[in-house]
Amino acid sequence: MKKVQLNKYTDFIVEETTKLLNIDSPTGYTEEAANWVKVEFEKLGFKATKTNKGGVIVDLTGKDKKNGLLLEAHADTLGGMVATIKDNGRLQLTNLGGMNPNNAETENVRVVTKFDGIYEGTFQLNNASIHVNGEYNDTKREWDSCEVVLDEDVKSKEDAEKLGISVGDFVCFEPNVRVTKTGYIKSRFLDDKLSVGILLGLAKYISEKKITPKRALYAHITVFEEVGHGGCASVPEGCTEAISVDMGCVGDGLTCTEKQVSICAKDSGGPYNYEIVKGLVEAAKKSGADYAVDIYPHYGSDVEATLEAGNDLKHGLIGAGVYASHGYERSHRDGAENVLRLLIEYAL
């Protein structure tokens, strides 16, 4: 089998993903990221529209308007929000999405105030000096045992308030994007910015190769996936099928690696549509995409939200394998390329 050369598009995916990863977008605070996404699709020649919720719908055109395919990826990420300003001026947080204090500890953060700009700080265990705190090793890392230490002269609640910090301010965790010589991509929030990058890669491919997809093809870059309702609204008219392009699970008992495209057969929301899963496997085989079919034990997706909202659609889920999900995640450019390869075969 002669495989299509996709190197150029994979380079583009990695570049675009890196740019998006460096725009903070915890769920609920996604405007800058969504605006960036809209412009990037427009630069490739496609019509992109913001939804009222703040997502972006892209018309990738295509022939059969009565049998449309919607691809969903999300630009929102995990994050934190100021829950309490403590008497010592430190900030206690509440989670946005499934952010976990265990793997957020010691991370640099940005606190976004509503009217007074952005402040830097670090998310630390309370009383974080191991030479002082005898309980350091035995303390469970929870939201109330950890705090943001602002890099400002703050000794009291009043000091923090004087800076303009208030309850409800968004807290963005540093993504720490790193692309290795060996092709690994390491960062927080590859879930699901890598997939947004992949859909931009697909758009570039369609545009440069002057392809008219056989079916109407749309992308929805959603912004509330991490809290469960990203894909609920804004299904373009005529869509009969929706596929979430989201992170593929990698871990004990599963077969996928970071270098493969994962096809999800079942997650916490039950089995994906049989016909679609079968079609995705066929497309992977036909295109030569290195793939794995897996069951995700603790996972829900945007496309399930689309169904739960009452849309009559067939649904599926694919994505590049991502290890250490919701922590310091790792994927590989080959994984992204395999998703693109499968999508070219399946959707165009």
- Can residue 192 be called a binding residue for Zn ion (CB under 5 A)? yes
Our CA angle for 121, 122, 126, nearest 5°, is: 120
Among 16, 169, 191, 329, binds Zn ion (CB under 5 A): 191
> Going along 104-183, which residue ranges are E strands?
108-112, 118-125, 146-150, 170-173, 178-179
Report CA 290 to chain centroid distance, whole Å: 22
* Residue (192 or 241) nearer to Zn ion, CB: 192
Choose, from 72, 107, 225, 258, the residue flagged as catalytic: 225
Residue 225 Cβ, how far from Zn ion at the closest point, in Å?
A: 6
Selected range binding Zn ion among 91-99, 190-198, 253-261, 340-348, rule: CB under 5 A: 190-198
CA–CA separation, 194 vs 271, rounded Å? 24
The DSSP call for residue 226 is: G
Residue of minimal Cβ distance to Zn ion:
192
Selected range binding Zn ion among 26-34, 63-71, 185-193, 255-263, rule: CB under 5 A: 185-193
In the block, tokens 């590989």 appear at 332
- Give residues 110-149 in contact with Zn ion (rule: CB under 5 A): none
Active site residue 225: yes
Scored b (16 or more CB within 10 A) or e, 17-51 reads bbebbebbbbbbbbeebbebbbebbeebebebebe
Residue 33 Cβ, how far from Zn ion at the closest point, in Å?
A: 14
* Residue (27 or 287) nearer to Zn ion, CB: 27
Residues 187, 178 contacting (CB under 8 angstroms):
yes
Residue 10 Cβ, how far from Zn ion at the closest point, in Å?
A: 21
Residue 130 Cβ, how far from Zn ion at the closest point, in Å?
A: 34
- Binding residues with Zn ion: total (CB under 5 A): 3
* Residue (197 or 213) nearer to Zn ion, CB: 197
Residue 244 Cβ, how far from Zn ion at the closest point, in Å?
A: 8
Residues 193, 325 contacting (CB under 8 angstroms):
no
Selected range binding Zn ion among 78-86, 116-124, 175-183, 245-253, rule: CB under 5 A: 245-253
- Can residue 246 be called a binding residue for Zn ion (CB under 5 A)? yes
* Residue (305 or 340) nearer to Zn ion, CB: 305
Strand partners, 171: 80, 111
* Residue (82 or 177) nearer to Zn ion, CB: 177
Specify burial of residue 228 (Cβ count, 10 A radius: 0-12, 13-18, 19+): middle
Our CA angle for 311, 312, 316, nearest 5°, is: 90
Residue 262 Cβ, how far from Zn ion at the closest point, in Å?
A: 12
* Residue (217 or 303) nearer to Zn ion, CB: 303
Selected range binding Zn ion among 87-95, 191-199, 268-276, 338-346, rule: CB under 5 A: 191-199
The region that residue 288 occupies, defined by phi over 0 for left and psi between -120 and 50 for alpha, beta otherwise, is: left
- Residues recognised as catalytic: 225
Binding residues for Zn ion, rule: CB under 5 A, are 191-192, 246
